[in-house]
Amino acid sequence: MIPESFIQELLHRVDIVDLIDAHVPLRKAGANYAACCPFHNEKTPSFTVSPTKQFYHCFGCGAHGTAIGFLMEYSGLGFVDAIKDLAARVGMQVPDDGARAHDGPRLPALNELMARASRYYYEQLKRSEKAIAYLKQRGVSGEIAQRFGIGYAPDGWQNLAAVFEDYSASGLQQAGLVIRNDQGRLYDRFRDRVMFPIVNPKGDVIAFGGRVLGAGEPKYLNSPETPLFEKGRELFGLPQARQALREKNAAIVVEGYMDVVALAQHGVGNAVATLGTATTGVHVQKLLRQVDRVVFCFDGDAAGRKAAWRALENCLEALPEQKSVTFAFLPELEDPDSYVRAHGTAAFERLVAQAMPLSEFLLKELASRCDMTSAEGRARLVAEAKPLLARLQTPLLRLQLVKRLAEASGFSQPEVEKLCDLKPVARAAPARASRPAPSLFRPLLRLLLQKPELAVRLPLEALPDDSGEARAVMNLCKVILSMGDPVPGYASLLERLRGGEDETVLREAAAELMQQPFAEGDVDDEFDGAVVRLVEGQKKRAFARLQEKVGRLGVAGLSSEEKQEYLQALGMRK
């Protein structure tokens, strides 16, 4: 039996948005996140995730639950296994877990191997004059090297054999540290390279990037994809950049880890790098959840422009309203590392500040592929833009692009829209679920779910006993009060009420709340108003009961207490 306090703590530590996003890419939709539902087949997203209440709800099929519920439904895990899985993700130990000793989970074991390798490389850096000289020559201080955990993999084929007792253990190959060649011979993947550990937000080393010191090939060598590491999702330097991202509300995406390190060395702390892969929509989404502006900073050569274009294509769908993506290009033959070292921080920041808006870069690139002096060429411009426009989910940016396309092509705005086959952008918020006739108890449920602290102020005796919703309010209050301090959030309540008779009505109320939360400042007033109506209703019911008795037995049939109550009620009603 897993203690309830543990489940509460677990739900508190896990972020359902991250969890679901790892399986079903989410995009921001107002205060919530949305996606096409993984539990039923649909083309417009009605699957919604609430970051504040930590639950998901599908307005299409009614799927609903917490992080635990999601893992159960999505991965087919049982309740206990889902809890174990989640706990492992956030480094919590499930109490009273006898099964844990044998059949240990795979990921923590790989994590441990990576951590040991990382410590080894870090120690080796101190012993390698060659590697230290390399970093010094690139202007990297000891402090920055430490901040990024930079290490060194010495030359030699089997150095890690001295670090791990069992060099042939399959975990080392699974983690991408050791390679088995066709002859069955084992050897270290990283040899004579400066090592950059890639750290996830939890602080675990999940991969390495290795850079040659001299002229060797390949210049950059990354860990392969492993159970710990998925290239398209991870960014080098993200944990180290967190504070700077908050301060600047902008993220700079560069191509190499040396660029990130050099920029940090020069006080530009908000840079991150993709790892041997083009920027993906997931990367952009991840960043735009933390900042309002993403600046891609690529080399000014053909390869850099190509990388920028791929980034643009990949982020179109992920681009939410009110956020901006811009493109900065360095002069030919420069990368951010060389640029910031040669020209300094101020020059680099200027370059970033003047980055090209996405719409401008998009049009410029397309125009460069078409002969803009001919009518055919201008028509081709619109044709090339068509598939890109179709992927934009943001009406404002789309409109802006259509306008610019119209200017550049000589077509009118409606003509461009028609040529591009533009239909109205799908609304982010799904259609409102049908709502039952307004009752007093639905709003009360929503109020209690939004602010469970209110439970102490609800006069439970005023709730009628003939309504299912009123009973749900009563039960919810009792559960909130029994769970005590800290007041449980919705996800904890939902887990506590899992399988109970009130689950359905609570789910509906939570889904309504998700679409239309009470304004923070209105919650208490709304609640007080509801309590007044509740107490009035109680009085009315009591009066009706007395009146009915008087009708049958006359006033004489009332007890003295009832008589007093009856007269008082009559007086109040006049």
Q: By CB under 5 A, is residue 58 in contact with Zn ion? A: yes
- Comparison of 20 and 271: residue with beta carbon closer to Zn ion: 20
Counting contacts by CB under 5 A, is residue 20 touching Zn ion?
no
User: For residue 473, what is the enclosing H or E element?
Assistant: helix 468-483
Q: Is 37 in the site for Zn ion (CB under 5 A)?
A: yes
Of residues 90, 3, 6, 12, the one with CA closest to residue 53: 12
* Of residues 60 and 151, the one with the C-beta less far from Zn ion: 60
- Residues binding Zn ion: number (CB under 5 A): 7
Contacts of residue 378, defined as CB under 8 A and 6 or more positions apart, other chains included, come to 370, 372, 408, 409, 410, 411
Residue 102 to residues 99, 189, 398, 431, 562: CA-CA distances in angstroms? 6, 30, 55, 49, 68
39 binds Zn ion (CB under 5 A): yes
Residue 253 to residues 128, 186, 235, 270, Cα–Cα distance (Å): 31, 36, 9, 9
The rounded distance, in Å, linking the Cα atoms of 423 and 434 is 26
CB of 450 to Zn ion, least distance (A): 24
Output the smallest distance, CB 49 to Zn ion, in A: 12
List 25, 60, 452, 517, residue binding Zn ion (CB under 5 A): 60
Q: Which stretch binds Zn ion (CB under 5 A): 62-70, 92-100, 452-460, 482-490?
A: 62-70
Should residue 45 be labelled a site residue for Zn ion when binding is judged by CB under 5 A?
Answer: no
Q: How far is the CB of 41 from Zn ion (least distance, A)?
A: 9
- Shortest distance, position 300 Cβ to Zn ion, whole Å: 46
Task: In whole angstroms, give the CA distance from residue 27 to residue 34.
Answer: 5
Among 23, 40, 180, 545, binds Zn ion (CB under 5 A): 40
- Beta bridge pairs of residue 91: none
Provide the sign of the torsion angle of the four alpha carbons 403, 404, 406, 412, taken in this order.
positive
Considering only the stretches 57-65, 149-157, 220-228, 460-468, report the one whose residues sit in contact with Zn ion under the rule CB under 5 A. 57-65
CB nearer Zn ion, residue 43 or residue 574: 43
Closest to Zn ion by CB, 64 or 398 = 64
Nearer to Zn ion, 57 or 293 (CB): 57
How many CB atoms are located within 10 Å of the residue 378 CB? 19
> How many of the other CB atoms lie within 10 Å of CB of 226?
17
Dihedral over alpha carbons 469, 472, 473, 475 (to 10 degrees): 160
61 binds Zn ion (CB under 5 A): yes
Q: Indicate if the alpha-carbon torsion angle 74, 92, 224, 259 is positive or negative.
A: positive
Interface stretch with Zn ion, choices 51-59, 119-127, 185-193, 446-454 (CB under 5 A):
51-59
Q: Which stretch binds Zn ion (CB under 5 A): 56-64, 68-76, 360-368, 429-437?
A: 56-64
| CA nearest to 423, candidates 404, 445, 398, 444 | 398
Give whichever of 36 and 186 is closer to Zn ion, judged by the CB atom.
Answer: 36
Near Zn ion by CB under 5 A, which window of 52-60, 263-271, 396-404, 432-440?
52-60
Q: Closest approach of Cβ 37 to Zn ion, in Å?
A: 3
Contact residues toward Zn ion (CB under 5 A) are 37, 39-40, 58, 60-61, 63
